[in-house]
């Protein structure tokens, strides 16, 4: 566990004791994502479960258990081990909107949310990127252009 950071390195330890130091001028912090506190409030009010990150377990149609009028979408929802990425948020938001529109027209049928993985793109640095779309894997300048 990192217990301290300064320009010359990292102090590491276990609970209340120091175990050493790592000399490093460059540090990369990758701490993960924590959901909004709203998730825990929704879970408490509906008896839904939350995971370590604070994401609310929802039914397959993105609604809270026992509350079909409440949709939880994006990186606040926990469903089928989906990642907390923008594409999941956009698709689950559209699913909720379409469900609400259908309900207003009298269609009360429940339809499960189905995520369609469109791939991943990430810029690493100027003129460098990675792209994964289906079986296609591209890196470097070509990926950056994409």
54-109 residue pLDDT tens: 999 999 999 999 999 999 999 899 999 998 888 999 999 999 999 999 999 999 99
Q: Where are the domains of the chain?
A: 1-31, 38-104, 117-146
Which tokens in the block code for residue 110? Answer: 């429940």
Least confident piece of the model among 17-21, 71-75, 110-114, 120-124? 17-21
pTM equals 0.71
Across all residues in the chain, what is the average pLDDT? 91
pLDDT at 31: 65
Identify any residues that bridge with 77 across adjacent strands, giving them in sequence order: 56
Query: Is the pLDDT reported for residue 50 higher than 80?
Result: yes
DSSP state of 119: -
C-alpha to C-alpha distance for 43 and 109, rounded to whole angstroms:
24
Predicted pLDDT of residue 106: 96
pLDDT digits (tens, 9 = 90+) for 31-44: 667 888 999 999 99
- Cα–Cα distance between 4 and 20 in angstroms, integer? 11
Give me the percent of the chain exceeding a pLDDT of 90: 73
Whole-number Å distance between alpha carbons of 146 and 118: 14
């Amino acid at each position: 566990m990192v217990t301290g950071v300064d320009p010359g390195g990292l102090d590491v330890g276990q609970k209340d004791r120091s175990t050493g130091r790592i000399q490093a001028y460059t540090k990369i912090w990758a701490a993960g994502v924590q959901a909004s506190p709203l998730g825990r409030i929704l879970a408490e009010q509906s008896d839904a479960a939350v995971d370590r990150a604070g994401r609310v377990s929802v039914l397959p149609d993105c609604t809270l258990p026992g509350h079909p009028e409440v949709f939880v979408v994006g990186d606040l929802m926990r469903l089928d081990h989906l990642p907390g990425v923008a594409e999941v948020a956009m698709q689950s938001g559209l699913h909720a909107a379409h469900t609400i529109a259908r309900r207003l027209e009298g269609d009360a049928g429940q339809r499960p949310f189905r995520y369609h993985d469109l791939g991943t793109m990430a810029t690493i640095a100027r003129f460098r990127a990675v792209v994964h779309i289906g079986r296609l894997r591209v890196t470097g300048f070509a990926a950056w252009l994409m």
